């Protein structure tokens, strides 16, 4: 009975994810918006996730002291299970955090009810173990959504060095790809990487990041917010996101040291494993044109972007990131803010082809400084690049367009299983 399809076209969707609101972050926002749109379209959506604690390791008061709970968010049924809460730093502790949810999520199997299709967000990779169990028990196909190829990313960042651990992780990764009904990725470059490793192209599907252009849109600066955050009248070049190993934010600090234009203020908003070291460097080296802000609520992000003159989006100089398209690019474009991208590969090509900003080589602080000062000294150019970005993202990366593709993928995957069941029934 668990695998049977409903008589109508509505789907019973289970979304299995380590990250979900009220946590703030790119995967949290993307998954929430996709799930809420699927629910609004008449589908039944159940999210199985952990108690919020990312990236600080501290759960909000209303979620503490529980092993499991259920709530409803914007028409989405959310089942939360226990997770070993820890700050987003320290590789071993993060692995324990990931494994703890993969195990505890199994306690929600009976509460989930029937499922027609399961959508699984990776990383973390270990959640795939739970996906295998959910797929077997519910007799439902799963889609493995890869927003970051793991363990490759951990290896290239230097976080995972043990040959045995790498081998085991790769074996698990490939097994999860083989067992998945579909494997979705966020960029064409990622699709090519997986295809080169032998994953059938017929199984692969590009489901890009996007942005809600009705929420992230150009608006006058919120002067009350600016005052509350202590931001002055200078031209703000904003980085908003995780302060981790992948971003290479030392490049931004070095660019700030080199910047001579007194109008420019670099603002870094967010949390992460590298933030403490970054703040110590700024203090120790007396870098006076850098301001740090804590994580901002999701609802504040459009206003924060509209305080900025431009956005800065850096990534480390790793081959892995040639196929990356950071979601914060789309939010910046949607608010008509030009981008200074210290990037290469697909992200740099997008910036250059759409003329929505200036792309320079990753980890090149002097080039970042030159791009920042060029934009600061030419408001007309900054406005032109920002307007280009808004037009392009509205046409190609609006979240409603992405949500339509998401629902089509779910329906097609569930339909394959329904047809297989029907053929099996007729053959008996």
Supply the pLDDT for residue 353.
96
Q: Which residues of the chain carry a pLDDT beneath 70?
A: 1-8, 416-428
Please name the residue that has the structure tokens 């942005």. Answer: 211
Q: Are residues 277 and 197 in the same domain?
A: no
Domain count, the chain: 2
Beta bridge partners of 184: 145, 205
CB burial class (10 A; 0-12, 13-18, 19+) of residue 425?
Answer: exposed
CA-based nearest residue to 34, from 76, 72, 5, 69: 76
Q: Is 215 part of any domain?
A: no
Q: Are residues 63 and 185 in the same domain?
A: yes
Is the pTM value of this prediction over 0.85?
no
Supply the pLDDT for residue 418.
55
Residues 6+ apart with CB under 8 A from 330: 209, 210, 211, 216, 393, 397
Q: Is 152 part of any domain?
A: yes
Q: Is 4 part of any domain?
A: no
Q: Are residues 82 and 151 in the same domain?
A: yes
In Å, the largest CA–CA distance within the chain is: 79
Residues 6+ apart with CB under 8 A from 164: none
Backbone angles phi, psi at 251, to 5 degrees: -65, -40
Q: Are residues 176 and 247 in the same domain?
A: no
Q: Are residues 53 and 154 in the same domain?
A: yes
Please name the residue that has the structure tokens 């280009």. Answer: 388
8 A C-beta contact, residue 184 and residue 146? yes
Supply the pLDDT for residue 417.
60
Supply the pLDDT for residue 244.
86
Q: Exposure pattern of 367-398 as b/e (b: 16+ CB <10 Å)?
A: bbbbbbbebbeeeeebeebbbbbbebbbeebb
8 A C-beta contact, residue 140 and residue 164? no
pLDDT, one tens digit per residue, over 321-379 is: 998 899 899 999 999 999 999 999 999 999 999 999 999 999 999 999 999 999 999 99
Cα 349 to the center of its chain, rounded Å: 20
pLDDT, one tens digit per residue, over 24-60 is: 888 898 999 999 999 999 999 999 999 998 878 888 8
Q: Is 303 part of any domain?
A: yes
Q: Are residues 236 and 323 in the same domain?
A: yes
Supply the pLDDT for residue 94.
84
Q: Are residues 191 and 157 in the same domain?
A: yes
Q: How far apart are CA 352 and CA 358, in angstroms?
A: 7
Q: Is 91 part of any domain?
A: yes
The CATH number of whichever domain residue 303 belongs to comes to 3.40.50.2000
Q: Is 68 part of any domain?
A: yes
Q: Are residues 141 and 114 in the same domain?
A: yes
Domain around 422: 12-210+398-427
Q: Are residues 141 and 185 in the same domain?
A: yes
Supply the pLDDT for residue 26.
82
Q: Is 392 part of any domain?
A: yes
Q: Are residues 174 and 259 in the same domain?
A: no
Q: Which two tokens stand for residue 18?
A: 């380590």
Half-sphere exposure of 236 (CA within 13 A, CB side): 22
Q: Are residues 264 and 341 in the same domain?
A: yes
Supply the pLDDT for residue 424.
46
Q: Is 279 part of any domain?
A: yes
Q: How far apart are CA 208 and CA 203, in angstroms?
A: 16
Q: Are residues 406 and 384 in the same domain?
A: no
């Amino acid at each position: 009975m668990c695998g049977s399809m409903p008589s109508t076209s509505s789907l019973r969707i289970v979304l299995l994810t380590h990250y979900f609101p009220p946590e703030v972050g790119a995967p949290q926002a993307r998954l929430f918006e996709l799930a809420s749109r699927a629910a609004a379209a008449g589908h039944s959506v159940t999210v199985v996730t952990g108690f919020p604690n990312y990236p600080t390791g501290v759960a909000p008061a209303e979620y503490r002291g529980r092993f499991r709970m259920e709530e409803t968010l914007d028409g989405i049924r959310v089942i939360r299970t226990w997770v070993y809460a820890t700050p987003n730093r320290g590789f071993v502790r993060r692995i324990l955090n990931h494994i703890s949810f993969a195990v505890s999520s199994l306690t929600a199997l009976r509460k989930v009810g029937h499922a027609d299709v399961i959508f699984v967000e990776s990383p973390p990779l270990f959640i795939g173990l739970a996906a295998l169990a959910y797929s077997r028990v519910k007799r439902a196909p799963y889609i493995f959504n890869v927003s970051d190829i793991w363990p490759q990313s951990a290896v290239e960042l230097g976080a995972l060095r043990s040959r045995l651990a790498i081998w085991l992780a790769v074996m698990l990764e490939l097994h999860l790809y083989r067992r998945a009904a579909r494997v979705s990725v966020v960029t064409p470059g990622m699709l090519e990487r997986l295809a080169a490793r032998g994953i059938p192209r017929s199984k692969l599907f590009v489901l890009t990041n996007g942005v809600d252009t009705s929420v992230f849109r150009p608006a006058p600066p919120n002067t009350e917010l600016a005052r509350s955050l202590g931001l002055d009248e200078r031209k703000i070049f904003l980085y908003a996101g995780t302060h981790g190993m992948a971003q290479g934010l030392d490049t931004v600090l070095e660019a700030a040291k080199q910047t001579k234009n007194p109008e420019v203020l670099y603002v870094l908003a967010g949390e992460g494993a590298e933030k403490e070291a970054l703040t110590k460097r700024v203090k120790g080296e007396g870098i006076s044109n850098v301001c740090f802000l804590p994580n901002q609520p999701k609802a504040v992000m459009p206003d924060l972007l509209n305080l900025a003159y431009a956005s800065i989006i850096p990534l480390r100089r790793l081959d892995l990131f040639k196929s990356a398209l950071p979601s914060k690019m789309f939010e910046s474009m949607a608010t008509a803010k030009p981008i200074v991208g210290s990037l290469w590969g697909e992200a740099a090509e997008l910036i250059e082809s759409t003329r929505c900003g200036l792309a320079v080589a990753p980890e090149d602080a002097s080039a970042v400084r030159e791009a920042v000062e060029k934009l600061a000294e030419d408001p007309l150019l900054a406005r032109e690049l920002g307007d280009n970005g808004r037009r392009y993202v509205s046409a190609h990366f609006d979240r409603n367009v992405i949500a339509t593709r998401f629902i089509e993928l779910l329906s097609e995957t569930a339909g394959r299983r329904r047809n297989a069941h029907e053929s099996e029934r007729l053959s008996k």
